[in-house]
Structure 1
Amino acid sequence: QAPGEEGVAERPSEEDVGRRRMLMWRNRIHQEIVRMMDLRRTDVGDMDEDELRSTVEGILDEVFRNMGSQLPDDVDREQLKSEVLNEAIGLGPLEALLAEEDVSEIMVNAFDDIYVERSGRLERSDITFSSDGAVLSAIERIVAPLGRRIDESSPMVDARLRDGSRVNAIIPPLALKGPCITIRKFSKKKLTGEDMIRFGSIDEGMLSVLKTAVEQRCNIIISGGTGSGKTTLLNVLSNFIPHRERVITVEDAAELQLNQPHLVSLEARPPNLEGKGAITIRELVKNCLRMRPDRIVVGECRGGEALDMLQAMNTGHDGSLTTVHANTPRDVISRLEVMVMMSGMELPVRAIREQVASAVDIIVQQTRFSDGSRRVTHISEVTGVEGDIVQLNDIFVYRQEGFDADGKVTGRFESTGSVPHFYQELRERGIAVDMSIFAS
Structure 2
Amino acid sequence: MRSPTPLAASTTTPADLGDSGSGSLVDSRLREAVARRLRDDHEITAGRADRASLRRAVARALAAEGIVAAPDVWARAVRDLVDDLGGLGPVEQLLRDPAVTDVMVNGPDEVHVERDGELRRVDVRFDDDAHLERLLRRVLGPLGVRLDRSHPFADAVLPGGVRIHALLPPLSEQPVVTLRRVPAVIPSWDELVAWGTVTPGMRERLIAAVTDRRNLVVCGRAGVGKTTLLARLLAEVGDDRLVVIEDAPELRRPAAHVVHLRVRPPSADGAGGIDVATLVRNALRMRPDRLVVGEVRGGEVADLLQAMNTGHDGSMTTVHANGAEEAIVRLEGMALLAGIPLAAARAQVGAALDLVVALGRGRDGRRQVTSLVEVGAGRDGAVIREVTA
**Is 2:374–2:387's contact at 8 Å kept on the other side of the alignment?**
yes
Letter in 2 for 1:355: Q
Give the C-alpha shift of residue 78 in structure 1.
Answer: 3.9
> 1:185-215: CA deviations, max 9, x gaps?
1212221222111111111111111111111
> 1:108-153: CA deviations, max 9, x gaps?
1112211111111111122222332221122112211112221111
Letter in 1 for 2:234: S
Secondary structure of the residue that 2:298 maps to in structure 1? Answer: coil
1:290-301 matches, within 5 Å, as 290-301=285-296
2:384 alignment partner in structure 1: 392
Once residues 97 and 384 of structure 1 are traced to their aligned partners in structure 2, the CA distance between those partners, rounded to angstroms, is 48
Q: Is structure 2 residue 233 aligned with structure 1 residue 237?
A: yes
**Is 2:25–2:80's contact at 8 Å kept on the other side of the alignment?**
no
1:180 alignment partner in structure 2: 176
1:27 alignment partner in structure 2: 28
Once residues 383 and 352 of structure 2 are traced to their aligned partners in structure 1, the CA distance between those partners, rounded to angstroms, is 13
Secondary structure of the residue that 2:387 maps to in structure 1? Answer: strand
Letter in 2 for 1:104: T
1:119-198 matches, within 5 Å, as 119-177=116-174, 179-198=175-194
Give the C-alpha shift of residue 370 in structure 1.
Answer: 2.1
1:233-312 matches, within 5 Å, as 233-243=229-239, 245-312=240-307
**Is 2:22–2:123's contact at 8 Å kept on the other side of the alignment?**
no
Once residues 25 and 189 of structure 2 are traced to their aligned partners in structure 1, the CA distance between those partners, rounded to angstroms, is 48
1:256-405 matches, within 5 Å, as 256-343=251-338, 345=339, 347-386=340-379, 388=380, 390-396=382-388
User: Structure 1: 5+ residue runs without aligned partners?
Assistant: 1-13, 397-414, 416-440
Give the C-alpha shift of residue 95 in structure 1.
Answer: 2.0
Which stretch shifts more, 261-270 or 21-30?
21-30
Once residues 21 and 298 of structure 2 are traced to their aligned partners in structure 1, the CA distance between those partners, rounded to angstroms, is 47
2:207 alignment partner in structure 1: 211
2:63 alignment partner in structure 1: 61
> 1:383-403: CA deviations, max 9, x gaps?
3224x353211012xxxxxxx
Once residues 267 and 90 of structure 2 are traced to their aligned partners in structure 1, the CA distance between those partners, rounded to angstroms, is 29
Give the C-alpha shift of residue 46 in structure 1.
Answer: 7.1
TM-score (norm 1): 0.77
Cα distance, 1:144–1:357 mapped onto 2, change above 3 Å = same
Once residues 91 and 239 of structure 1 are traced to their aligned partners in structure 2, the CA distance between those partners, rounded to angstroms, is 33
Cα distance, 1:183–1:45 mapped onto 2, change above 3 Å = farther
**Is 2:157–2:249's contact at 8 Å kept on the other side of the alignment?**
no
Cα distance, 1:192–1:89 mapped onto 2, change above 3 Å = same
1:418-437 matches, within 5 Å, as none
> 1:418-440: CA deviations, max 9, x gaps?
xxxxxxxxxxxxxxxxxxxxxxx
Cα distance, 1:259–1:349 mapped onto 2, change above 3 Å = closer
Cα distance, 1:36–1:229 mapped onto 2, change above 3 Å = closer
Secondary structure of the residue that 1:358 maps to in structure 2? Answer: helix
Once residues 47 and 376 of structure 2 are traced to their aligned partners in structure 1, the CA distance between those partners, rounded to angstroms, is 61
Give the C-alpha shift of residue 155 in structure 1.
Answer: 0.9
**Is 1:249–1:298's contact at 8 Å kept on the other side of the alignment?**
yes
Cα distance, 1:275–1:54 mapped onto 2, change above 3 Å = farther
Letter in 1 for 2:342: V
Once residues 344 and 266 of structure 2 are traced to their aligned partners in structure 1, the CA distance between those partners, rounded to angstroms, is 34
**Is 1:159–1:167's contact at 8 Å kept on the other side of the alignment?**
yes
Question: Number of aligned pairs?
Answer: 370
> 1:397-423: CA deviations, max 9, x gaps?
xxxxxxxxxxxxxxxxxx4xxxxxxxx
Give the C-alpha shift of residue 239 in structure 1.
Answer: 1.2
Secondary structure of the residue that 1:110 maps to in structure 2? Answer: coil
Once residues 383 and 297 of structure 2 are traced to their aligned partners in structure 1, the CA distance between those partners, rounded to angstroms, is 23
Letter in 2 for 1:188: A
Once residues 255 and 95 of structure 1 are traced to their aligned partners in structure 2, the CA distance between those partners, rounded to angstroms, is 20
Identical counterparts, % of pairs? 37
Give the C-alpha shift of residue 364 in structure 1.
Answer: 0.6
Give the C-alpha shift of residue 223 in structure 1.
Answer: 0.7
Cα distance, 1:109–1:384 mapped onto 2, change above 3 Å = same
**Is 2:26–2:80's contact at 8 Å kept on the other side of the alignment?**
no
Once residues 253 and 37 of structure 2 are traced to their aligned partners in structure 1, the CA distance between those partners, rounded to angstroms, is 49
Secondary structure of the residue that 2:65 maps to in structure 1? Answer: helix
Once residues 20 and 255 of structure 1 are traced to their aligned partners in structure 2, the CA distance between those partners, rounded to angstroms, is 31
**Is 1:159–1:166's contact at 8 Å kept on the other side of the alignment?**
yes
Cα distance, 1:129–1:64 mapped onto 2, change above 3 Å = farther
1:220 alignment partner in structure 2: 216
Once residues 82 and 122 of structure 1 are traced to their aligned partners in structure 2, the CA distance between those partners, rounded to angstroms, is 26
**Is 2:25–2:76's contact at 8 Å kept on the other side of the alignment?**
no
User: Structure 2: 5+ residue runs without aligned partners?
Assistant: 1-10, 13-19
Cα distance, 1:217–1:144 mapped onto 2, change above 3 Å = same
Pick one of 110, 114, 117 that aligns with 1:113. Answer: 110
